[in-house]
Amino acid sequence: MLFPFTLQATDGAARAGTLTTPHGEVPTPAFMPVGTQATVKGLTPEMVRAAGAHIILGNTYHLALRPGDEIVRDFGGLHKFMHWDGPILTDSGGFQVFSLAGQVKITDHGAKFKSHIDGSPLELTPERAVEIQQNLGSDIAMVLDECPPATSEPAKMRAAVLRTIRWAERCKKHHSRPGQAQFAIVQGGLNLDLRAECARELVAMDFPGYALGGFSVGEAPEAMHAALPTCAACLPEHKPRYLMGVGRPQDLLAGVASGIDMFDCVMPTRNGRNALAFTSDGPIRLRNAKHRRDPAPVASDCACYCCENYSRGYLHHLFAADEMLGPTLLSLHNIAFYLRLMADARRAITEGRFAAFRAGCLARWNADS
């Protein structure tokens, strides 16, 4: 089977597995740092690797607009272009079209929109989304889906689910790149019947992996947490399950508890650029004046390059002076924090103590859920 996924252990619904790709193995649960524009912002691939990353994510929408997927293809694909030799997952571009582009018009044929860079008119169809990702040469490609806001009225949500199913079928038919796996995306918002219907149709098409899209799009985190176990249970047991674009550390643990295997989110890097560091005692803000004379590392239990070598006082200074190294060091630390969280969760699942591990994390972070 292309991209074998094996489960090493389960603990309740939580799973510890291994996904094998042409560019290496990915132990799960896995967090994928986001490399939107063929770079994890501010970090070299060596830094991303040293932080513990096994797989990263690239954005189809951004790379198709700039530099253009054919240019990336002519450089030998995204791995060579950005000098990352590990696995890469690319999204389909749908989410960015709906959230970033201007004047989006969706029909069954595809999504017409205006580029957020220069306003030029473009169209993303299921077939084009497949072609772009084949040109990028990612290990895992995503089908094009329609991702409506969580607050959409039922008729609109249902229409989006039906279109998502039809588009998945077209993507599967058009896909031809050997060595690239294509994952389908389940939509349906918080309507569990719609989610189940969408999952049933997509599972019948036999994709090698499945994602839950349309979460973290305006609904309360508690509503997402409540929906995740049912949604994950609709997916095949022996294929990877990916929760797209989520989220905070507590959301990842809720996902893992529900049986999700893969995650991506810009939170660690975006917050790192804004001087917010995740720690096992909860987040801290390095711009805060109380850190000015603090010789302690960002996190005393973290072995990342930032925490091994620099003080909170130095980070405070870098952000006060608007130096580039500040965002780089904190992005590195935050990614290391997310990756260690997943590695610790994996160990806890293997040892049958995931529920206690999760409760301990939430208590230390002072998080509600």
246 binds Zn ion (CB under 5 A): no
Give the nearer residue to Zn ion in terms of CB position, either 160 or 302. Answer: 302
**155/151 Cα distance (integer angstroms):** 12
The site for Zn ion, by CB under 5 A, has a size of: 5
- CB atoms < 10 A from the CB of 2, how many? 12
CB nearer Zn ion, residue 20 or residue 280: 280
Closer to Zn ion by CB, 175 or 340: give it: 340
Cβ at position 278, least distance to Zn ion in Å: 9
Residue 119 has, within 13 A of its CA and on its CB side, a CA count of 0
Q: Taking CB under 5 A as the rule, which mask of x and - marks residues 296-325 in contact with Zn ion? A: ------x-x-xx------------------
Residue pair 204/170 in contact by the 8 Å Cβ criterion: no
Per CB under 5 A, contacts with Zn ion among 264-303 are: 302
Q: Is 333 in the site for Zn ion (CB under 5 A)?
A: yes
Residue located via tokens 């694909």: 77
Write down the least CB distance from residue 338 to Zn ion, Å: 11
User: Which of the ranges 79-87, 262-270, 282-290, 331-339 carries the binding residues for Zn ion, by CB under 5 A?
Assistant: 331-339
Cis amide leading into 149 (omega within 30): no
What is the DSSP pairing of strand 111-114 with strand 102-106? antiparallel
User: SS in 3 state form for 156-196?
Assistant: HHHHHHHHHHHHHHHHHHHCCCCCCEEEEEECCCCCHHHHH
Among 346, 351, 368, 347, CA closest to 359: 368
To Zn ion, the closest distance from the beta carbon of 256 in angstroms equals 21
User: Which member of 91, 139, 145, 261 is catalytic?
Assistant: 91
- Minimum distance of Zn ion from residue 301's CB (angstroms): 9
Give backbone dihedrals phi and psi of 27, rounded to 5 degrees, phi first: -70, 140
Q: What is the DSSP string of 55-79?
A: -EEE-HHHHHHTT-HHHHHHTT-HH
| Nearest distance in Å: CB 346, Zn ion | 19
Among the listed ranges 73-81, 176-184, 228-236, 332-340, the one in contact with Zn ion (CB under 5 A) is 332-340
Binding mask 38-77 for Zn ion (x = CB under 5 A): ----------------------------------------
| 16 is a site residue for Zn ion (CB under 5 A) | no
Known catalytic residue at 264: yes
Judged by the rule CB under 5 A, the positions of this chain that interact with Zn ion are: 302, 304, 306-307, 333
Give the residue numbers marked as catalytic: 91, 264
